[in-house]
Chain A
Amino acid sequence: MFSTLADSLDKSFRDLRGVGRLSEKNITDALRQIRIALVEADVEFNVAKNFIERVKDKSIGEDVLKSIKPGEQIIKFFQDELTELLGGDQAPLDLNPPARVLICGLNGAGKTTTSAKLALRLKKEGRRPLLIACDLYRPAAIEQLATLGKQAGVPVYTPDASETDVVKVAKDALAWAENQNGTVLIFDTAGRQEIDDKLILELKRLHEFLKPKETLLVADAATGQQAVSVATHFDDAVGITGIILTKLDGDARGGAALSMREVTGKPIKFAGEGEKLDQLYEFHPNRMADRILGKGDIVGMVEQV
């Protein structure tokens, strides 16, 4: 993919050989190609457009046309900009007491698995995490978290199957946590569509009650153009503090990362790369940039081996 983009860029620059520096006029065609490549990598259309607009201004005057492979040069340029944008503030989680982490996201994004992964990770760092099951809808969601908690060796608060009020569950869980000697509370919530007002309101109520320092949006790396709608709706509703991308062990290009980062300005905190509980990793902006531009996550793959 990377080479395809590079090749076609080379082609569009070929005619320009000898022209010298990039100018507004001679770069237009190349920019369009990059925009299409980004959209095909699932970067939202307007995000791609704005990103390119900004980078364009910087690229004008660059000396790429003299190089043998102007296509690769210009991609390198975009790669660096993308890395910078994706990186931003990579602050660690705010876990000052009372440390509460609220996990939210679309149906099936990977929230329950990620909650358990995060718990395991924090435990390995020497903290004492607790898991709290706040999904009262999905059949056997509570059992799922209970099972994963057991695997991670982390205590889990499991509400009664008849509970329907998530704020009451959270309240009971806080009382339970008092006696658990835990230092970080992780709340797993039900999956919901971002345009489902009723369920978003439920999440808002829970958020208002808990006042968590961290509210993390869990999102599937394969999310398409809707990533913008998803991220803005959740952010507007509860003010997310960060994003966790899941299923990066697949081959999705992951343009959603850029879309969500751009529209919310919130950092991507972790990357889920497998179903196993220890497969939650630091997020690497440079690898993500390569991936979105189609260069393949070679470094990541090598490291995993």
Chain B
Amino acid sequence: MAGFFKSLINKISNRADIDWDDLEASLIAADLGVHLTTYIIDDLRDLGRKVTVDDVVEITRRHLSDKLPPDFPELTPRPDGKPFVILVVGVNGTGKTTSSAKLGLWLKNRGHSVCLAAADTFRAAAVEQLQRWGNRLDIPVVAGAPNADPSSVCFNAHKQAIADKTDFLICDTAGRLHTRHNLMEELTKIRRTMAKQDETAPHLTLLVVDATTGTNAMQQAKEFHKASPLDGLIVTKMDGSGKGGIAITIYENLDIPPRFLGMGEEPDQFAIFRRDTFVKEVL
């Protein structure tokens, strides 16, 4: 987003009068949404004096900070010794499979044992994709037959993870549009299945959102949250031109915080969400 900052400097310091339209455009382009942008612009206008670059940065950062959640502690294994179950959901192509693998590596690097469940039994070669990741990262993958019931894959993976005393089980699910009722029902069924061997599971449900997505991300979060209560977001493709400002809108409206960020196709291009870093990066 360095480009945004630079263009901002040009826009403001080379002019006697600020071009509000232009500034508004820059903020909206950073995906801050129309509403947040309006607040920021109003605050700047309220200053009642010539606006400087510092004003814009400071006020924008403050608004962002106010609207983002504080940092969460890192994930820790369950005290009862049973696997901590993470369910990864989202619409098609957002980066669920890649993020499941990356999260697996992230946990593994912190000394935890991890198992992946290939619960996308629908999309062509989805199971192979996760298996490749498993091989590459040396993380076991439990898969079922093609077109098997995703719930049964999760059940079996859970069973194995319990037997192996695995710290974390990550279930990668098929992409589904939030408008497809029967596919959303399938998620509910997966959750019920996970609860059979541990009534507290799943322990964390993460929605994967693509940072390039516009206002529809809000709709996605709302509908997924209904079908399968969400604990957080993984915002992917932060290495692209999208800055994931939509995460702010989602948190503000639904109280679902960003928890992890994907920043590339490589397995280590993944980070836990930290408010200060995020705010600096958006600006």
Contacts and interface: CB of A to CB of B under 8 A. Distances in A.
A184 B31 CA distance: 40
A247 B214 CA distance: 14
A122 interface: no
Interface in B175-221: 177-180, 210, 212-217, 219
A193 B177 contact: no
A253 interface: yes
A44 interface: yes
B26 to A, nearest CB: 9
B92 A44 contact: no
B242 A222 contact: no
Interface residues of A, number: 47
A230 B124 contact: no
B179 A249 contact: yes
A258 to B, nearest CB: 12
A303 interface: no
B152 to A, nearest CB: 21
A229 B93 CA distance: 20
A36 B93 contact: no
Contact of B215 (A42, A107, A230, A247): A42
Interface stretch (A136-144, A175-183, A279-287): A136-144
A44 to B, nearest CB: 7
Contacts of B31: 224-226
Interface in A200-259: 220, 222-227, 229-230, 247, 249-253, 255-256
Contacts of B213: 220, 222-224
A148 to B, nearest CB: 5
A36 B131 CA distance: 45
A288 to B, nearest CB: 15
A5 to B, nearest CB: 14
Nearest to B29: A225
Contacts of B180: 249
Given A46-B25, A143-B125, A193 B95 contact: no
Contacts, number: 134
Contacts of A139: 128-129, 132-133, 136
A194 B241 contact: yes
B239 interface: yes
Given A194-B240, A225-B29, A110 B216 contact: no
B62 interface: no
A19 interface: no
Most buried by A among B133, B136, B265: B265
A45 interface: yes
Contacts of A141: 125, 129
A109 interface: yes
Contacts of B178: 250-251
Given A40-B34, A139-B136, A224 B124 contact: no
B124 to A, nearest CB: 4
A275 interface: yes
A140 B34 contact: no
B21 interface: yes
Contact of A225 (B128, B131, B214): B214
A196 interface: yes
Given A108-B94, A247-B92, A44 B29 contact: yes
Interface in A86-110: 106-110
Given A249-B177, A252-B214, A108 B240 contact: no
Interface in A158-181: none
A42 B91 contact: no
B246 interface: yes
Contacts of A275: 92, 122-123
A39 interface: yes
B259 interface: no
Nearest to B211: A226
A40 B125 contact: no
A117 B258 CA distance: 35
B95 A108 contact: yes
B81 to A, nearest CB: 32
Contacts of B179: 249-251
B147 to A, nearest CB: 12
A163 B210 CA distance: 29
Contacts of A106: 212, 237, 240
Contacts of B29: 44-45, 225
Interface in A273-305: 275
Interface string A21-47: 000000000000000100111101110
A222 B217 contact: yes
Nearest to B134: A139
A247 B177 contact: yes
A283 B232 CA distance: 36
5 contacts: A41-B215, A44-B29, A143-B124, A253-B214, A255-B214
Given A44-B29, A106-B240, A251-B219, 8 more contacts: A45-B28, A106-B237, A108-B95, A138-B265, A147-B124, A151-B124, A252-B219, A275-B122
Interface of B: 21, 24-25, 28-29, 31, 34, 91-95, 122-126, 128-129, 131-133, 136, 177-180, 210, 212-217, 219, 237, 239-242, 246, 265
Counting from the closest, the 7 A-B pairs by CB-CB distance are A224-B214, A108-B93, A139-B132, A42-B214, A147-B124, A144-B125, A252-B216
